[in-house]
Amino acid sequence: MNDAIVKVPISEIPKSKYTGYLWYCDQHKPIVLLDDPLPEMQDSSSWPFVQEGWLFDPNSQQSIHIFHHDDTQCYLYNLATLRANTDIKIIRRLYYAHPRMSENEQLILQFDEIWSPQVDPLCEGMSVLRPAAMIFTGFYKK
């Protein structure tokens, strides 16, 4: 599973069309992307920086999580690789987005919750499923 989750610098996010959002530190609401090109982004040394972001490219099956905690962190998830792994369990989760994300309709965020087997010494050394990642997979369409 390690090759499916990679930490990347924000400058190395692949140029593509994304669905998701970028919430800048100086804004009251995020920029919502609906199959739009990636806007220009800077790392946390520049102002304003991305405080939080989830992006999904359905063509490459890549999801990107950006967050700021003392510095900008950026993780790229390869969903095709994860879905090919038969050892993990994937559960689809839906969450209502913050009301500021859309003025017209309530957006619903769609995530894949990844559960990975890990040996548990409290279960006689058997493998048990433990939460490994929450990966954004776009906005839910009713």
Quick one: which H or E segment has residue 83? Answer: helix 79-84
DSSP string, 36-103: EEPPP---TTSSS-EEEEEEEETTTTEEEEEEESSSEEEEEEEHHHHHH-TTSEEEEEEEEPPGGG-S
In whole angstroms, give the CA distance from residue 86 to residue 67. Answer: 29
What's the predicted TM-score (pTM) here? Answer: 0.86
Convert the pLDDT of each residue in 64-122 to its tens digit: 999 887 778 899 999 999 999 889 999 999 999 888 887 777 889 999 999 999 999 99
The larger pLDDT score, comparing residue 9 to residue 113, is at 113
Percentage of the chain lying above the pLDDT 90 cut: 56
Token pair of 62 as six digits: 């890549």
- Domain spans of the chain, in order of start: 2-139
